[in-house]
Structure 1
Amino acid sequence: MSSTSATAPSLRAAFEADDHCLSLRSGERAIDPSIEPMFEQLTGLCTLPSVAQRVIQIADDPNADTQDLLEVVETDPAVAARLMQVVNSAYCGLRNPVGDLRSALTLLGIERVRSLALTISIGGTFGRPTPVGLLDPQRLWDHSVCVATISRQIATRCNACQPEEAYLAGLVHDMGLLFINQHLNSLAPRVLAHMQSGMSLPNAERHVLAFDHAQVGAYVAWRCGFPRDIVAAIDYHHAPAACPDEAVPLVRVVTIANYLSTRYGRGSLEGRRLPAPSEGILTPMGLDLLSLRQLWEELPETVANVHELAIA
């Protein structure tokens, strides 16, 4: 990670030794060491559902197969039932409905079904009751699935990275914002006050909390065993130029998708604005302002059926 990492200095050795996380040897996004206990505490509070964590392990295991995924999903009947609803919805676009998960895997592929299973299981985390805080969890979830869907489209068009990896990165890019809202909501008015004075959301968070939502989201993702590039996509989606080289394509995809979704009115916060992606982000992807406009014009169709993934 770079000079703005989710880790405090005393955690560097753990990050460097872990194959699931980017090495910090090139620099780190440093936080005050006094914040480290809060990150550890948040990690304990912000655990993902067991199905989601096991599906993540499957996603990172090259030897995992269809049967492994079936066995995990079937351990939670609610997730399995909701997954079948989504598989047979307009979002997946199957010509004929299917009656079982094995058939869905045959038609959609293990990567697509795995992404849907993660979406459904993680969605329950967003749907938990939350005191008044920084944002509306339902709005954040809508933003997350929009960014995920747009990320898949961009990755497919640009051949920049694996489309389902892009989908997952888009889905979880703002989960740190959810955790802040759930567990530090009393500080939300101060963050909002700084935003109203002209600060960006990450800057306002750092001013009030000494860290931002990308940092804490990346830290929790690392502790939950997410693949290293997904951790980087969370950490750097507001600072793609600072990202380590190996994760840059995925981070660029999520950054562009986040901008398009937010500008389209499907942002995490009402009225929030993000800067347009620079040529330094677009050009290496084979994109320019014209192709960005084409992506924009396709957005109504791209996100038309995202509502099928609404929190049940």
Structure 2
Amino acid sequence: MPRGRGPFMNNGGTSTAPAPAYERLENGDVALKQVLSRLFGASDLEGGSHDILRLAGRGDDLEELQERIQGDPLLVALILRRVNSPYYRLDKPAPDLATACRLLGFDEMRNLAMTVLLSRMFREPLEVGTYSTTGLWNHSVAVATVAQLTSRVCGGAVPTEAFVAGLLHDIGYLLTCRRLPRDFSRLVDGLRIARDTPDLERRLYKFDHAELGAYVAAQWSTPEPIVDAIRHHHHVERYGGNHRELVYVVGAANYLCSRAGWTALGVHNAALPPNTTYEALELDEVALGIIWRELTPTLERSTYLAEA
């Protein structure tokens, strides 16, 4: 493990905050489920995204994926624009969707299609204090790319799963802003740097964005590892399930992006993950050095994916 007080190191001990509401949800709290089901559900996902997202949990049929994308000409155009951007650094441009699918493969093309489709949920500009939908979207794409980078370096979680989990990890903020605008405005007004935002959320509306995001992602038939990463990305040390590496990767990526200025709510309020996170991922000084060195270039490249 690395020593000292670098950007990855937590010298303040483990969290002693009360257990979040998602533990009640996992334990079958019917009342909490009823509250969430009344406010949110699968219909919150933009049309077309359901089919692409479900492909994350089964098979790798590139031909089927291509057919689904081909039915939406605007989606095809937006995908090709990103494929031919500096993000992918292709030797020569891909002239059509078939070529792009061959070059990227199923997992990368599926993730790119999801990115473009989900961007439609953020297209209505909205600002509430330090928060903006544009800022949240840029943060989501940044965490997706940094989670993928971290996964590749540590050799733990599946990189494509890390991307999807990073992309969706803060979807709860967007949904809360839409459905509970007054409470969300109070949340933003009450933000403090390094404050535990989920704790403030639970005091305002009895659940937090990670819990909500996991609930809605499950309604979208998202695979369990990704749902777990969404649910636990703020308090990774409390996770005791079977997908620890993915949860830890997303938690670390969320912190790194926020610290670097790609924040979800306009302020850096993501807590530093405990040192056990890096130990569990077997990230030594060399590996952490690689991630830190590649962080800024990765974040800069992520802007090409996040563009409208």
Common topology (TM > 0.5): yes
Which residues in structure 2 correspond to 1:138-153 (within 5 Å)? Answer: 138-153=134-149
Which secondary structure does the structure 2 equivalent of 1:195 belong to? coil
Which residues in structure 2 correspond to 1:108-257 (within 5 Å)? Answer: 108-130=104-126, 132=128, 135-196=131-192, 199-257=195-253
Alignment length, in residue pairs?
A: 290
Which secondary structure does the structure 2 equivalent of 1:268 belong to? coil
Structure 2 residues not aligned, in runs of 5+: 1-18
Q: What's 1:37 paired with?
A: 34
1:206 CA drift (Å)? 0.4
Structure 2 length normalisation: TM-score?
A: 0.87
Amino acid at match of 1:142: N
Instruction: Work out the CA distance in 2 between the residues paired with 1:253 and 1:197.
Output: 22
1:34 CA drift (Å)? 4.1
Contact 2:194-2:271 within 8 A present in 1 as well: no
Deviations 1:35-74 (A, max 9, x none): 4333113324852123221011122112x41111011111
Q: What's 1:102 paired with?
A: 98
The alignment-based identity, stated in percent, is 32
Structure 1 residues not aligned, in runs of 5+: 10-23
1:130 CA drift (Å)? 4.1
Q: Are residues 220 and 259 of structure 1, via their aligned partners in 2, closer, same or farther at CA, if it must alter by over 3 Å?
A: same
1:218 CA drift (Å)? 0.4
Contact 2:21-2:206 within 8 A present in 1 as well: no
Q: Are residues 41 and 124 of structure 1, via their aligned partners in 2, closer, same or farther at CA, if it must alter by over 3 Å?
A: same
1:193 CA drift (Å)? 4.3
Instruction: Work out the CA distance in 2 between the residues paired with 1:310 and 1:53.
Output: 20
Q: What's 1:79 paired with?
A: 75
Structure 1 length normalisation: TM-score?
A: 0.86
Contact 1:169-1:230 within 8 A present in 2 as well: yes
Q: Are residues 180 and 287 of structure 1, via their aligned partners in 2, closer, same or farther at CA, if it must alter by over 3 Å?
A: same
Contact 2:128-2:188 within 8 A present in 1 as well: no
Contact 1:181-1:188 within 8 A present in 2 as well: yes
Instruction: Work out the CA distance in 1 between the residues paired with 2:31 and 2:199.
Output: 19
Instruction: Work out the CA distance in 1 between the residues paired with 2:271 and 2:285.
Output: 14
Amino acid at match of 2:174: L
Which secondary structure does the structure 1 equivalent of 2:44 belong to? coil
Q: What's 2:46 paired with?
A: 49
Q: Which has the higher contact order (CA 8 A, sep 6+)?
A: 2
Q: Are residues 79 and 255 of structure 1, via their aligned partners in 2, closer, same or farther at CA, if it must alter by over 3 Å?
A: same
Instruction: Work out the CA distance in 2 between the residues paired with 1:217 and 1:305.
Output: 26
